Amino acid sequence: MSNDFKPLQGMSDITGNDVLKWQQIEEQSRTVFDTFGYSELRTPLLEKSEVFLHSLGDSSDIVKKEMYALEDRGGRSLVLRPEGTAGTIRYLASLGEEANNLRVYYIGPMFRCERPQAGRKRQFHQIGAEFSSSPNPYADVESIMLQFELLKKYGINDSKIKINTLGSQNDKKNISHGMLTSLNKVKNKFPAKYQNRIDDNVLRVLDWKDEECKKLISELPLITSFMSEDSLIYFNKVKDILTEMDIEIEHDPKLVRGLDYYNHTVWEITHNSLGSQDAIAGGGRYTIQTGKKQINGVGFALGIERLILASNNEGEDLPKKNGYWIVSLGENTIIENMKLSNKIRSLGHRCGMDLENKSIKSQLRKADKFGATKVLIRGDQELINNKIIEKNLDKGSQQEFDLNEWIGILGERNASI
Ligand code: HAM
């Protein structure tokens, strides 16, 4: 395709049969969210920079180098949302008391100016959920459980939930200090280019992928050794409830997240088939300061592009289209067939037809493109006799009906046939 017609690098047009998969995932998500009592929240794509700057963390990759930041005509500094939690909390902060214990979900595009590669886009889409609750292990488990149900609904089986604790807000200072002290003792053994990065964010060191670094990291004390007893009790409770609820998890003591607002329970869901970008979801408990308000919550976001890759790799079938395509034999029949197509649609069925007088072969090709499962054929003869021919494209069989009788049958058919 000529560059003139391509979307920006790392962004895609989503079209044709792919859209069916997207719609299916969105519908399945809405059904599950509804059963959990979550309602939809649609926040703007563009927000003031402050909404993201401090909540995500000044040392996070997103704030340091991945935000699509721009200035509007009034000189205001704005950002295309890179994730959904900060905007949700901005909205909740505007509500006052009502914001407590609210459960909301969102589905939509996010923007990060990352280096594009398989499973990593610059415009990608998330299905996310947030529950504004004070620290409470049951709430954390409910959020994990919700994700578990979503994955079941999508038919994803080959995923793994890894969880960890980052300790309470009050533990953060102790953990940073403890980790920095331990790291400083071995700092000069790290490759030179990593040594300066240690001070940026000591927790993120645990996520470094370089083999030489990984070996040194494996010898560091666990972050739990710098946490309060209460935080450890909190995490054990989360794990116990998960076991009670039959949700299989793996405790990964080195799991940290790329955003600063997290505390207590954090998790990531990976899929075996996805290679280096294998996280299909990430979440956790958090505290976000907006203006003078501090809001606690727990939530997660699933990446739709990666979910679809995982689902395709598990061999999930693409959803099928269905419906009727009317083939007109001769120009005279087009107007009568247009009336019929509207009758069919009014009964809740998909229906299409060619509006030009083309050959039967060409009309049948279009039926296939439309995704019809049945073709209806009407020419002058059928109009005179008030008849209709129905051809079943799957079976290849066809049958003639009296038109009124056929409409009666159609009224009783399920719209998905
Ligand atoms: P996150 O881990 O940054 O968390 O993103 C969540 C998911 O979005 C990832 O697991 C991945 O599936 C998808 N994702 C992220 N970046 C990209 C990308 N460049 N291309 C394709 N997919 C991507 C958050 O965004 C948090 N707000 C989640 C959360 C909600 N935590 C609490 N509440």
Q: Does domain 3-168+227-313 have CATH number 3.30.930.10?
A: yes
Question: pLDDT by residue (tens digit) across 150-173?
Answer: 999 999 999 999 999 999 999 999
User: How many Cα atoms occupy the beta-carbon half-sphere of 87 within 13 Å?
Assistant: 24
User: Quick one: which of 114, 116, 143 has its CA closest to 128?
Assistant: 143
User: How many Cα atoms occupy the beta-carbon half-sphere of 177 within 13 Å?
Assistant: 7
Task: Please give the pLDDT value at position 196.
Answer: 85
Task: Please give the pLDDT value at position 394.
Answer: 87
The pair of structure tokens assigned to 105 is 């979900």
Give the mutation target among 83, 85, 143, 305 for probing the ligand 1 site: most ligand atoms within 8 A of CB: 83
Task: Please give the pLDDT value at position 416.
Answer: 60
> In the predicted model, is pLDDT for residue 417 greater than 60?
no
Question: pLDDT by residue (tens digit) across 134-144?
Answer: 999 999 999 99
Reported pTM:
0.91
Element spanning 398, H or E: strand 398-402
- Delimit the domains of the chain by residue range: 3-168+227-313, 324-412
Could you tell me the end-to-end alpha-carbon distance of the chain, in angstroms, rounded to an integer? 37
Measured by CA distance, the residue closest to atom 11 of ligand 1 is 303
Element spanning 27, H or E: helix 16-35
Give the mutation target among 29, 89, 259, 273 for probing the ligand 1 site: most ligand atoms within 8 A of CB: 259
| 340-352 average pLDDT score | 96
Question: pLDDT by residue (tens digit) across 264-323?
Answer: 999 999 999 998 889 999 999 999 998 888 999 999 999 999 999 999 999 887 777 789
Ligand 1 binding pocket (C-beta < 6 A) is 83-85, 112, 114, 119-121, 124, 126, 128, 130, 258, 279-284, 286, 299-301, 303, 305-306
392 contacts: CB under 8 Å, gap ≥ 6: 373, 374, 398
Give the mutation target among 43, 123, 126, 156 for probing the ligand 1 site: most ligand atoms within 8 A of CB: 126
Q: Which CATH superfamily is domain 324-412 in?
A: Anticodon-binding domain (3.40.50.800)
Amino acid at 373: T
Residue 127 Cα to ligand 1 midpoint, Å, equals 9
> In the predicted model, is pLDDT for residue 395 greater than 90?
no
Task: Please give the pLDDT value at position 202.
Answer: 87
